[in-house]
Amino acid sequence: MKKISSISWLIVLMLVSGCWDRNEINDYAFWIGTALDLSEDGNLEKSAQIAVPAGFKSTGRGGSDQRGNIVVTASGSSVVDLEQQVQDKLPRRIFLGHRRAIFIGESLARKGIVSIMDQFTRNTDTRLRTDIFVVNNGKGRDVLEVNSPFNKFSSIVAVDQDRFCRLGDTALRDVLLDIGRDGIRPSMPMVEITARNKQEKNQIIEVKSVAIFNQYLQMVGKVTGRESLELFWMKGVLKDQFITEETESGNIALYESNLKKSIHTEINGDRIKAHVKLEGIGRVIENNTDIDISDTPQRVALERTLDTMKAKQIEATVKKLQGQYGQDVFGIGEEIHREHPYQWKKLRKNWDQLFPSVEVTVTVKLKIENMGGIGKRIPGIGAKE
């Protein structure tokens, strides 16, 4: 009898304390992407890309014209208020746990995103593996409305694209971490819609730039293309990249992986020096020069030329960033903090003023490990015999 009563108490306890939040999977509105923009009247505008599973269904059977998602827009003053407004427009409970990307319109980014970011750190529904983008010269909502042929959700397309050329879905985490430090300024990848031909129109988005923020989380500038990759390499978050170099006799392209960076700082009175060492292991994929890579002396010479060229390029990029924006997106301040913790206490208050005057020297060490040679070279290039 005692046993029975204890078991029934257990059952009651389980039922009373259990999580009664059962919700069928098709009663959820899966929120895949968010766009935050500045509306014309200066309010915050939030757009949500919501999955429509019924439209998603027919993908397996090939060719349906349905989008698989809808974009809902609301405008107001606070992000959470907007969430409520979005919910008001939907017949299913919104579910943020699967949000993959956040797009911030450039005008809003330039105005400042402090009031937006706080919500991401507090709302437990936010997953940290979300990517965050600034939309170059456009509104976030436009990106959500892109109809990519590869995936029903332009948000996921952007994340995947970012993964293959920049950071991938760790961007929000990285940005949040950077915001919390004082020796580094946040930077985030940018997407843009630039149709180059008819087919690309409304279908293709591009991830090629990086937006640079100051400590008040206002966007101050951007770098594009090669420079943006160099920025991430120096920051230490880039894993691999393609490098194309022009030598005197033609261009050579490498696929660089195992990218590493190490920064060493020196403080001599007022002068702050930073030595950056960048390393990588390369595979040659294009060689239009006369150099025979299979010949070790030639290859070593090539490696040296490439190293110095690359170092010069990166130094130029750093100079440009120091001069134009003056924001330490590389984390040199963090490195000083680590190596000279006591001096850093004095430096950190006016780091934004000091950073442009930091003398940065870059050494690059690319190792050609694989010359990518299958068969003979195409006759006419580098034929020496």
Partner 1 sequence: METSIPIEVDESVKLNHDALLQIFQNCADIVFRPLKLNDHLEILLVYIEELTDSSKLEQIISACMISRDSTRLTQYDSVTHFAAVVAKVLKGCTAIFIDGKPCAYLADLTSFNQRAINEPSNEAAIRGPREGFTEDLKTNLSMIRRKISHPNLKIEKHQAGELTNTEFVLAYIEDRVKPELLQEVKKRIHAIKTNQLMDSSYIEELIEDKTLSLFPQIQNTERPDTVSASLLAGRVAIIVDGSPNALLLPMSFWAGLQAAEDHYERFIYVSAIRVLRLLLAVLSCLLPSIYVALTSFHPQMIPLNLMLSISASREGIPFPTVVETLLMELMFEGLREAGLRLPRAIGSAVSIVGALVIGEAAVQAGFISAPIVMIVAGTGIASFAFPSYSVALPFRLLRFPLLILGGFLGLYGVAIGVMFIMIHLVTLKSFGMPYLKPVAPIGKNIWKDTIVRMNKRFVTEPQKNEENKLN
Q: Does 127 bind partner 1 (CB under 8 A)?
A: yes
H helical segments located in the chain:
2-17, 53-57, 79-88, 106-111, 114-122, 140-144, 154-165, 171-180, 226-235, 296-324, 332-339, 341-347, 351-354
Pattern 67-96, partner 1, x by CB under 8 A? ----------------------------x-
Q: Does 156 bind partner 1 (CB under 8 A)?
A: yes
Binding segment toward partner 1, per CB under 8 A, in 19-27, 262-270, 281-289, 322-330: 19-27
Q: How far is the CB of 147 from partner 1 (least distance, A)?
A: 17
Q: Please say which residue, 69 or 289, places its beta carbon nearer to partner 1.
A: 69
Q: Are 205 and 151 in contact (CB under 8 A)?
A: no
Short-list 359, 357, 362, 350, CA closest to 183: 350
Q: DSSP assignment of 350-361, as one string?
A: GHHHHGGG-EEE
Instruction: For tokens 């060229």, name the residue.
Output: 309
Q: Which of 5, 19, 63, 385 binds partner 1 (CB under 8 A)?
A: 19
Q: Does 1 bind partner 1 (CB under 8 A)?
A: no
Q: How far is the CB of 97 from partner 1 (least distance, A)?
A: 3
Q: Please say which residue, 12 or 195, places its beta carbon nearer to partner 1.
A: 12
Q: How far is the CB of 149 from partner 1 (least distance, A)?
A: 16
Q: Does 16 bind partner 1 (CB under 8 A)?
A: no
As a residue count, the chain comes to 385
Q: Please say which residue, 55 or 76, places its beta carbon nearer to partner 1.
A: 55
d(CA 343, CA 355) in angstroms, rounded, equals 14
Q: Which of 1, 2, 5, 26 binds partner 1 (CB under 8 A)?
A: 26
Q: How far is the CB of 195 from partner 1 (least distance, A)?
A: 27
d(CA 64, CA 58) in angstroms, rounded, equals 6
Q: Does 97 bind partner 1 (CB under 8 A)?
A: yes
Strands 250-268 and 241-247, sheet pairing: antiparallel
Q: Please say which residue, 37 or 131, places its beta carbon nearer to partner 1.
A: 131
Helix, strand, or coil (residue 152): coil
Q: Please say which residue, 18 or 269, places its beta carbon nearer to partner 1.
A: 18
Q: Which of 9, 80, 84, 98 binds partner 1 (CB under 8 A)?
A: 98
Binding segment toward partner 1, per CB under 8 A, in 21-29, 35-43, 140-148, 344-352: 21-29
Helix, strand, or coil (residue 216): coil
Q: How far is the CB of 2 from partner 1 (least distance, A)?
A: 16
Which positions from 225 through 264 interact with partner 1, judged by CB under 8 A? none
Q: Please say which residue, 51 or 354, places its beta carbon nearer to partner 1.
A: 51
Q: Please say which residue, 7 or 114, places its beta carbon nearer to partner 1.
A: 7
Per-residue tokens: 201: 């129109």
d(CA 122, CA 120) in angstroms, rounded, equals 6
Per-residue tokens: 237: 């978050």
Q: How far is the CB of 58 from partner 1 (least distance, A)?
A: 9
Distances (CA, A) of 236 to 42, 113, 131, 336: 37, 24, 18, 16
Q: How far is the CB of 79 from partner 1 (least distance, A)?
A: 20
Q: Are 104 and 140 in contact (CB under 8 A)?
A: yes
Number of amino acids touching partner 1 (CB under 8 A): 24
Q: Does 355 bind partner 1 (CB under 8 A)?
A: no
Q: Does 22 bind partner 1 (CB under 8 A)?
A: yes
Instruction: For tokens 């923020």, name the residue.
Output: 213
Terminal alpha carbon distance of the chain: 99
Which positions from 32 through 71 interact with partner 1, judged by CB under 8 A? 32, 51, 53-54, 56-57
Q: Are 117 and 186 in contact (CB under 8 A)?
A: no
Which residues lie closer than 8 Å to 170 by C-beta, 6 or more apart?
129, 131, 237
Which residues of this protein are in contact with partner 1, per CB under 8 A?
Answer: 14-15, 18-19, 21-26, 28, 30, 32, 51, 53-54, 56-57, 95, 97-98, 100, 127, 156
